[in-house]
Amino acid sequence: MRFKTILGVVNVELWKSDLEMLQRLCDENGSHLSLLVTSVSQPPPLAEHAAIADLWLREQDARIRALREQIDAINASLAADGLSADVDSVHVERAMMAGIVGRRGRYADLVVLGPQMIAERDLWDAVLEGALFEAESPVLMLPKDAAPTLKPRKVMVAWSSTIEAARAVRQAADILSGADAVHVVLVDPQATSWGDGPEPGADIAAYLARHGANVTVERLSSEGRDVEEALRRHAMDMSAEMIVMGAYGHSRLREWLFGGVTQAMTEKPPMPLFLGR
């Protein structure tokens, strides 16, 4: 999958380092940057008192003016870089954010979140929902100090024989075939025909090898740890530069209520995290 259009979603209050990462990523890949600058509006007050309503309106006007000022600064930065880009902005309640990102994400090959956006949990959660569920676009999360690249040398695929994991691998096929080494990692695999197959990981390894990837299969025991902890630790031990994994193999509500691998990995990504669903 070629990443010709990248949708970057940034927070109006903190965007400079995220934009720099996005510019470097697009420069590296010759991609067009479609930038969405987000500003969260507070819901209108329920009280009927005129003074309260007037205060709310003044606050919204101030936020919109600040948004316009930041858009001017962003446009100036992009013009200086000479990057192919377009910039849009939204000032909406958080509940509407997923739908907006979903509509924009349908016209992008990849949605990217930088460290400043990742720090805003309530906001990036809505962005993930829109990208993965409403646009069905892959997402790349770039934590602080990560190298913004789609050309990592060593990649770990967190494999689980699910449709979500398979879709993530297909979406990341160009990344994986271009890497020096791809490690397909399974935690506590089930060597059954209805689980991970008689030789867990062999099928996906063969698929990737046909795409030109240099693949190694590793089967890990969780040793009583959570799966996400086993994956995170192994990725760090092998000095992976990116993790590719399927997102929300269980329902999103179930993960939100009880936790899960996706929830844990996205809260604290140890390195660039490529998610597909």
Q: List the pLDDT tens digit at each of the 277 positions of the chain.
A: 689 999 999 999 899 999 999 999 999 999 999 999 999 887 776 656 555 667 767 788 888 888 899 999 999 999 998 999 999 999 999 899 999 999 999 999 999 999 999 998 878 889 999 999 999 999 999 999 999 999 999 999 999 989 999 999 999 999 999 999 999 999 999 887 777 888 999 999 999 999 999 999 999 999 989 999 999 999 999 999 999 999 986 555 444 433 488 888 998 899 999 999 9
**Whether residue 232 is found in the same domain as residue 128:** no
**Whether residue 122 is found in the same domain as residue 168:** no
Residues of the domain holding 89: 5-141
Give residue 249's pLDDT.
Answer: 64
| Final residue belonging to a domain, choices 141, 164, 188 | 141
Q: Where are the beta strands (DSSP E) in 129-277?
A: 139-141, 154-158, 181-187, 215-220, 242-246, 273-276
**Whether residue 158 is found in the same domain as residue 186:** yes
CB 160 within 8 A of CB 249: yes
CATH code, 74: 3.40.50.620
**Whether residue 133 is found in the same domain as residue 171:** no
**Whether residue 90 is found in the same domain as residue 127:** yes
Give residue 241's pLDDT.
Answer: 98
**Which amino acid, residue 148?**
P
Give residue 47's pLDDT.
Answer: 59
Name the phi and psi angles at 66, rounded to 5.
-65, -40
**Whether residue 252 is found in the same domain as residue 178:** yes
Residue 106 CA, chain-centre distance (Å), reads 15
Give residue 193's pLDDT.
Answer: 73
CB 22 within 8 A of CB 126: no
User: In 45-59, which positions are buried (b, 16+ CB within 10 angstroms) versus exposed (e)?
Assistant: eeeeeeeeeeebeee
